[in-house]
């Protein structure tokens, strides 16, 4: 869960640094991304993380979702107003221009592209759908909580995010084709007011998701350190401050976020999505109720096996990429 919080916090740092680099090149402290991430953590993330109940963050989560919908609509709109070019580059006036021509670069969509970046892309895509740590906190906040209601919440949430991710990826790719960058927003003009607003919206959306991820982390720590103690504000606040302090150190000094995302996605994502749920199901459900040869347990075994295969393959590809020392711009 802590790794998932790091994964959520890192885009905040990246967006702040990118945002400020586009505004000014001065060395003032108030335009330094490292200073801004600390300011945002203290003034925005920490107060929200100190809420006693997760349900209080419902309004911020709704606003965060609306920001991402705005991002999706803008990407779709820009696809229809941006002319295809063999290489998309923007001059100082914000006008698209092609800076070189190549017979290998065409404005045609390719269904499958395999390159060294794939070693990082697949684990990151898997890690994007790791929402397991938030299930129990959300379940406790439901009105009349039960398994069916929680399943409906999970199905709707995952489906909505999948559709948004898919449409953003499709229309972003159809805008720039083979020249699309791992950071999609970097491909648009710095003079484009709409996309500047989109960058701000994405920054707000990612920032508001961090407190939601912190809740299950704090609950797990409280369960380990103070299992039989009632709620205490000192424990509540101190754990949030310590976790945010540790995460800020990592996201500020991490040398390459792509490598961190790729490695975390190759290790924790298969564990949380495939391996651990399957193993828990096999161990918890008694054999008298469901024999090992029953269809549900066979499915669980298959999921565990696929998880280990996925983890081994991803880690192997990433290590090969590191050893070869290829400088790629793999997706975040």
Sequential DSSP letters for 253-317 = H-S-HHHHHHHHHHHHHHIIIIIHHHHHHHHHS-TTTS-TTSHHHHHHHHHHHHHHHHHHHHHHH
Q: 3-17, 49-63, 173-187, 308-322: which has the minimum mean pLDDT?
A: 3-17
The three-class DSSP label of residue 237 is: helix
Q: How far, in Å, CA of 137 to CA of 128, rounded?
A: 19
Q: Which residue has the tokens 């299950």?
A: 216
Mean pLDDT of 227-233: 85
**Vertex 201 angle, CA 199 and 206, to 5°:** 95
Q: How far, in Å, CA of 180 to CA of 174, rounded?
A: 9
Q: 223 pLDDT exceeds 90?
A: no
Residue 327: pLDDT band with limits 50, 70, 90: very low
Q: 312 pLDDT exceeds 80?
A: yes
Q: 71 pLDDT exceeds 90?
A: yes
Task: Answer yes or no: are the C-beta atoms of 311 and 267 closer than 8 Å.
Answer: yes
Q: Check residue 77 and give its pLDDT.
A: 93
Q: Check residue 92 and give its pLDDT.
A: 41
Q: What is the pLDDT of residues 16-41, one digit of tens each?
A: 444 444 444 456 666 777 788 888 88
Sequence-distant (6+) residues with CB within 8 A of 233 are none
Q: What is the pLDDT of residues 92-149, one digit of tens each?
A: 444 444 433 334 456 778 877 777 666 667 777 777 777 777 787 788 788 888 888 8
Q: 5 pLDDT exceeds 70?
A: no
Q: Check residue 179 and give its pLDDT.
A: 81
171 or 257, greater pLDDT:
171
Residue 88 has φ and ψ, to the nearest 5°, of: -85, 120
Q: Rounded mean pLDDT of the chain?
A: 78
Sequence-distant (6+) residues with CB within 8 A of 182 are 117, 258, 329, 330, 331, 332
């Amino acid at each position: 869960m802590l790794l998932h919080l790091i994964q959520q916090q890192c885009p905040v740092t990246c967006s702040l640094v990118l945002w400020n680099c586009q505004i000014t090149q001065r060395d003032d402290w108030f335009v330094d991304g490292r200073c801004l991430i600390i300011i945002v953590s203290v003034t925005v993330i920490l107060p929200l993380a100190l809420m006693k109940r997760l349900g209080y963050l419902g309004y911020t989560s709704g606003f965060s979702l609306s920001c991402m919908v705005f991002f999706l609509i803008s990407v779709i709109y820009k696809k229809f107003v941006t002319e295809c070019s063999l290489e998309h580059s923007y001059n100082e006036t914000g006008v698209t221009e092609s800076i070189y021509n190549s017979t290998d670069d065409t404005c045609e969509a390719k269904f499958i592209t395999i390159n060294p970046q794939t070693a990082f892309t697949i684990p990151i895509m898997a890690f994007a759908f790791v929402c397991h740590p938030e299930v129990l906190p959300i379940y406790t906040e439901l009105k009349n909580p039960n398994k069916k209601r929680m399943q409906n919440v999970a199905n709707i949430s995952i489906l909505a995010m999948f559709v948004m991710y898919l449409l953003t990826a499709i229309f972003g790719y159809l805008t720039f084709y083979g020249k699309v960058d791992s950071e999609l927003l970097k491909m648009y003009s710095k003079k484009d007011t709409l996309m500047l607003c989109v960058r701000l919206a994405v920054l707000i959306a990612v920032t508001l998701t961090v407190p939601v991820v912190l809740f299950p982390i704090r609950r797990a720590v409280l369960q380990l350190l103070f299992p039989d103690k009632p709620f205490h504000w000192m424990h509540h606040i101190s754990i949030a401050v310590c976790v945010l302090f540790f995460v800020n150190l990592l996201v500020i000094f991490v040398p390459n976020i792509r490598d961190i995302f790729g490695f975390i996605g190759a290790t924790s994502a298969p564990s949380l999505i495939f391996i651990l749920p399957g193993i828990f199901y096999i161990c918890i459900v008694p054999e008298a109720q469901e024999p090992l040869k029953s269809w549900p347990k066979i499915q669980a075994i298959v999921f565990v096996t696929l998880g280990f295969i996925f983890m081994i393959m991803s880690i192997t590809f990433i290590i090969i990429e590191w050893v070869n020392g290829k400088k790629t711009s793999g997706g975040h």
